[in-house]
Amino acid sequence: MSVAAGHAFMIAITGGSGSGKTTLARALHERLGDACQLITEDNYYHARAHYGAAALAMTHAELERTFDFDDPANKDMAHLRSDVEALKRGETIQQPIYEFARHDRKPDAFKTVESRPVVIVEGIHVLSDRSFFPLFDLTVFVDAPADLRLIRRIRRDEAERGRSAESVIQQYLRFVRPAQTRFIDPARHHCDIVVACEAAPPDRDAPSDADSVDRLVAPVWVQLQKLGIAG
> What pLDDT, on the 0 to 100 scale, is given for residue 199?
65
Domain that holds residue 62: 9-210
Dihedrals φ, ψ of 11, to 5°?
-120, 130
Q: Is 134 exposed, middle or buried (0-12, 13-18, 19+ CB in 10 A)?
A: exposed
Low-confidence stretches of the chain (pLDDT beneath 70): 1-6, 199-208
- The predicted model scores a pTM of 0.88
Query: Is the residue at 3 inside a domain?
Result: no
- CATH code of the domain covering residue 28: 3.40.50.300
Kindly state the helix (H) or strand (E) to which residue 10 belongs, with its residue range: strand 9-15
How confident is the model over 205-218, as pLDDT tens digits? 555 678 888 999 99
> What pLDDT, on the 0 to 100 scale, is given for residue 3?
45
First to last CA, the chain: 18
Beta pairing, strands 193-196 & 138-143: parallel
> What pLDDT, on the 0 to 100 scale, is given for residue 219?
95
Query: Is the residue at 230 inside a domain?
Result: no
Query: Is the residue at 225 inside a domain?
Result: no
Dihedrals φ, ψ of 180, to 5°?
-55, -45
Query: Is the residue at 105 inside a domain?
Result: yes
Kindly state the helix (H) or strand (E) to which residue 226 belongs, with its residue range: helix 210-226
Query: Is the residue at 141 inside a domain?
Result: yes
Query: Is the residue at 219 inside a domain?
Result: no
* Number of independent structural domains in the chain: 1
> What pLDDT, on the 0 to 100 scale, is given for residue 205?
55
Query: Is the residue at 50 inside a domain?
Result: yes
Residues contacting residue 61 through CB under 8 Å, at least 6 positions apart: 167
> What pLDDT, on the 0 to 100 scale, is given for residue 119?
98
Q: Provide the sign of the torsion angle of the four alpha carbons 216, 218, 224, 230, taken in this order.
A: positive
Query: Is the residue at 226 inside a domain?
Result: no
